[in-house]
Amino acid sequence: MSVTLDLSRARPAAAPAPLNLAGLTRSEIAATLVESGVAAPSQAKMRANQIWGWAQHHGVTAFEAMSNIAKDTRAALAERFTLARPQIAERQQSVDGTIKWLIRFAPGIEAETVFIPEVGGGSGALCVSSQVGCTLNCTFCHTGTQALVRNLTAAEIVAQVQVARDDLSEWRAAPGGRRLTNIVFMGMGEPLYNLDGVATALDIVSDDQGIAISRRRVTVSTSGVVPKLKELGERTGAMLAVSLHAVTDELRDVLVPINKAYPIAELLAAIRAYPGLSNAKRVTFEYVMLKGVNDSPAEARALVKLLAGIPAKINLIPFNPWPGSPYECSSGNRIHAFADIVNAAGYASPIRTPRGRDILAACGQLKSESQKTRANARRRETEAVDTAEH
């Protein structure tokens, strides 16, 4: 039987995408302008500063709107470069005010970003993704069940902040009037496996002539990629958060399997040496509360012993379940008893309030629903082709 395939859905060969200047630092923009012949070396710095102000301070996405740049230069820029935002595939808002965007960077390349306003309004943190999927497979994390698609570029990481600022209408807002005041790399992926992208994105968003979020208000969370910790501190000056989750190698090997490569003792030694670590710049240890797995008073006591002498705070995260997850969240009593022991030893031990659970925006829940939908859609497509062929 002959088969006629419907080619109307086949994608044409993609033309190379124009370079997005939103992912370049000011000096990189200047160098790019010279290389492309748009600016003479003597003019490049001034021109880069103008573009920078429009793009990273005013949030402008069209070169045409840059009224202090000559018309023909604007046209030359538009011919070669872009400042376009990625597409927002979906936007959801939780009853608690949390907003989640599913951002489509390219066909099939999607990641989620979550704005978490503080309870009671005021400021809030933006939880950004560094990768689409993750190579690691922590057993309590839904992202970990999804294969890595690819690293996000610096432009794509910066774009997550820009999309949030568009939505919150706070370009040009005075620092005191902003809602988005902090950035946490706690979305999808392991940031230290994409350190170049993360570090460049941080150079861009912390520039005081642009988005101007201070490095001290940026936290990078890692599962414990020991060989990259020092470089993270030196290159970014970011606050460090480490996903510890267990006090013995035996259990951490299961929960956070990267522990087999970099066990707890090595991890703690690297943390003690983290550049700038002090009482004013503490490391945050994240500890997910899993019922009957890691939540006993004895483990709380072992935890404070293990961390003795490290300037730290311990963030207790109630486990956020996902379909098929092999764990349950500890009871409120159990979590409070654990927190009391840690607290009594002199460590701040806030219990993270789950936010945005109703829209699957809480820790470890990201991406799951959109992938499922796409997997179903892919299955339907495959079935349609199979049916046509048989």
**Which stretches within 71-228 are classed as H helix?**
71-80, 154-168, 195-206
Asked if 134 is part of the footprint of ligand SF4 (rule: CB under 6 A), the reply reads: yes
CA nearest to 364, candidates 335, 324, 331: 324
Q: What does the alpha-carbon distance between residue 155 and residue 283 come to, in Å, rounded to a whole number?
A: 27
Asked if 111 is part of the footprint of ligand SF4 (rule: CB under 6 A), the reply reads: no
Asked if 113 is part of the footprint of ligand SF4 (rule: CB under 6 A), the reply reads: no
Contact residue for ligand SAH among 94, 151, 182, 221 (CB under 6 A): 221
Q: Which does 320 bind (CB under 5 to 8 A by kind): ligand SF4, ligand SAH, none?
A: ligand SAH
- Using Cβ positions, the residue closest to ligand SAH within the complex turns out to be 364
Q: What does the alpha-carbon distance between residue 149 and residue 370 come to, in Å, rounded to a whole number?
A: 14
Asked if 137 is part of the footprint of ligand SF4 (rule: CB under 6 A), the reply reads: yes
Q: What is the DSSP string of 218-247?
A: EEEEES--GGGHHHHHHHH--EEEEE---S
Task: Look up residue 235 and give its two tokens.
Answer: 């290159």
Measured from the CB atom, the residue of 24 and 141 that comes closer to ligand SAH is 141
Measured from the CB atom, the residue of 63 and 327 that comes closer to ligand SAH is 327
141 touches 126 (CB < 8 A):
no
Integer CA distances (angstroms), 193 to 113, 151, 198, 221, in order: 18, 8, 9, 12
What amino acid positions are annotated as catalytic residues?
112, 363
Task: Look up residue 10 and give its two tokens.
Answer: 């086949």
Measured from the CB atom, the residue of 76 and 188 that comes closer to ligand SAH is 188
- Using Cβ positions, the residue closest to ligand SF4 within the complex turns out to be 144
- Count the residues in the chain: 390
Task: Give me the least distance between CB of 228 and ligand SF4, in Å please.
Answer: 13
For the beta carbon of residue 84, count every other beta carbon within 10 angstroms: 13
Task: Give me the least distance between CB of 232 and ligand SAH, in Å please.
Answer: 12
Contact residue for ligand SAH among 223, 294, 370, 371 (CB under 6 A): 223
Residues of the shown chain interacting with ligand SF4 in the complex, contacts defined by CB under 6 A:
134, 136-138, 141, 143-144, 189-190, 223, 243
Task: Write out the residues near ligand SAH by the rule CB under 6 A.
Answer: 138, 140-141, 186, 190, 221-223, 243, 286, 288, 317, 319-320, 363-364
